[in-house]
Amino acid sequence: VKNRWTGWVAKREGQSVYLPQLEFVAEICEYVSFLARVIRPPVKSGVTAKPLNLNLPLLGPRFIPPSYLHAQRRNAAPEIKPDAAYLKPVNIVHPVFYPDVLEKCPR
């Protein structure tokens, strides 16, 4: 994850870079990549996707950053950081979430 967002920082010299947001997006990218690997069927099997294991949560395509309530519920005395309040939700467009639309050429 760190390699992903540090690479983005290096390539965005002229753009605004908010590190907590980039780290949040990098975590989402890792999750979606993992999910795609897990449900990818064997090559030339004729199956569109393997079923997802019941122990793996299916999150997305809209990822909302955790709020202060999440921190309070997970810890009796949470360390509140104001950075979390500035994170923006992220919408992911990927064949994992939209298989009928994105797995075929639109022609």
* CA dist., res. 1 & res. 23, Å (int): 7
Residue 47 lies in a domain: yes
Model pLDDT, residue 12? 76
Residue-number span of the structural domain to which 60 is assigned: 2-101
Q: For residue 78, is it within any domain?
A: yes
pTM here is 0.78
In a domain, 6, yes or no: yes
Domain membership flag for residue 94: yes
Does any domain span residue 36?
yes
pLDDT, tens digit, 9 for 90 and up, residues 8-51: 777 777 776 788 888 899 999 999 999 999 988 777 777 777 88
Q: Which pLDDT score, from 0 to 100, does residue 103 have?
A: 72
Domain tally for the chain? 1
In a domain, 107, yes or no: no
| 81/51 Cα distance (integer angstroms) | 38
* 106 domain-assigned: no
- Number of CB atoms found within 10 A of residue 25's CB: 19
Using alpha carbons, select from 54, 65, 60 the residue that is nearest to residue 88.
Answer: 65
pLDDT of amino acid 62: 97
Q: What is the pLDDT of residues 54-107, one digit of tens each?
A: 999 999 999 999 888 877 888 878 777 778 788 999 999 998 888 878 777 766
In the prediction, which pLDDT does 68 show?
Answer: 82
DSSP string, 41-70: PPTTSS-S-PPPPTTS----SEE----HHH
